[in-house]
């Protein structure tokens, strides 16, 4: 395949198979060097186009995809939309403006060029932990929901359907796409039940579902028709997590 090159060196049994996708040969070389210097990663191959990468992903088992966003014909985000069961993904781009859209696709991390090895290693370690089950990139099927007590009954809450959780006195409101549940609890107790990979505290009174974020403007997050404020003490953490730099 003319748009891809493949590694021939032996892999260790515990190594994560990595595919690099970038139309910039220098960027590809930098990521390949980073992989070569990381003992728990192995370089499975590199592609200079998303179209070629799509074919490789159909034919080979890949654990971790280092994916450029801006490429001709088909962007990295277009590639993600086309994949039914994508591997773990670390997006790589020179444009910081893709962070929110990136996390809508549940990417593991978001690296901004020029990439340092220290920042690369941080993303790689996240991938290793995710595949080991310590920090799942998305809720596993058996932990995709929880039960909360509403009045005298237990109600099943699907994490994917939750928009945000709001603290109101001694109660919290769990707002989903279809309903609002009033639960006698603290926001901290709810946060402990909800997966940290999917939810983020953005205000002393609010937790939001990262995948439901539509826009961020003027220190407020839009989810469906609700504007949720970003508290001043949470701003740095929120934007670091969304932008990953």
pLDDT, tens digit (0-9, with 9 covering 90-100), for 48-59:
999 999 999 988
Is the distance from CB of 107 to CB of 90 less than 8 angstroms?
yes
Between these two residues, 94 and 18, which has the higher pLDDT value?
18
Residue limits of CATH 3.40.50.2300 in the chain: 4-131
Between these two residues, 98 and 211, which has the higher pLDDT value?
211
Q: Taking 80 as the threshold, does the pLDDT of residue 96 lie above it?
A: no
CATH code for the domain defined by 4-131: 3.40.50.2300
Q: Taking 90 as the threshold, does the pLDDT of residue 95 lie above it?
A: no
pTM of the predicted model as reported, rounded to 2 decimal places = 0.54
Query: Which CATH number among 1.10.460.10, 2.40.50.1020, 2.40.128.20, 3.40.50.300 corresponds to the domain 141-243?
Result: 2.40.50.1020
CA-CA distances (angstroms) from residue 61 to 1, 6, 119?
17, 13, 25
Q: Per-residue pLDDT tens for 116-174?
A: 999 999 999 988 988 876 444 444 344 588 888 888 788 889 999 999 999 998 899 99
Q: What is the pLDDT of residue 121?
A: 94
């Amino acid at each position: 395949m003319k748009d891809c090159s493949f590694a021939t060196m032996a892999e260790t049994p515990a190594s994560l198979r990595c595919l690099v996708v970038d139309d910039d040969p220098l960027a590809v070389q930098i990521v390949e060097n980073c992989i070569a210097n990381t003992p728990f990663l192995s370089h499975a191959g590199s592609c200079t186009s998303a179209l070629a990468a799509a074919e490789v992903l159909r034919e080979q088992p890949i654990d971790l995809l280092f994916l450029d966003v801006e490429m001709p014909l088909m962007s990295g985000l277009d590639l993600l939309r086309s994949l039914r069961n994508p591997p773990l993904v670390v997006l790589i781009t020179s444009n910081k403006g893709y962070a929110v859209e990136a996390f809508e696709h549940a990417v593991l991390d978001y690296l901004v060029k020029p990439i340092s090895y220290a920042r690369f290693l941080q993303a790689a370690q996240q991938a290793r932990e995710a595949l080991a089950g310590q920090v799942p990139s998305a809720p596993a099927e058996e932990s995709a929901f929880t039960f909360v007590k509403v009045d005298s009954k237990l109600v099943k809450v699907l994490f994917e359907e939750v928009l945000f959780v709001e603290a109101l006195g001694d109660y919290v409101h769990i707002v989903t796409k279809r309903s609002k549940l009033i639960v006698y609890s603290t926001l901290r107790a709810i946060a402990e039940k909800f997966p940290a990979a999917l939810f983020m505290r953005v205000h002393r009174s609010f937790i939001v579902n990262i995948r439901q974020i539509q826009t961020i403007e003027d220190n407020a997050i839009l989810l469906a028709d609700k504007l949720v404020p970003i508290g001043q003490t949470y701003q740095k953490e929120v934007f670091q997590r969304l932008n990953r730099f």
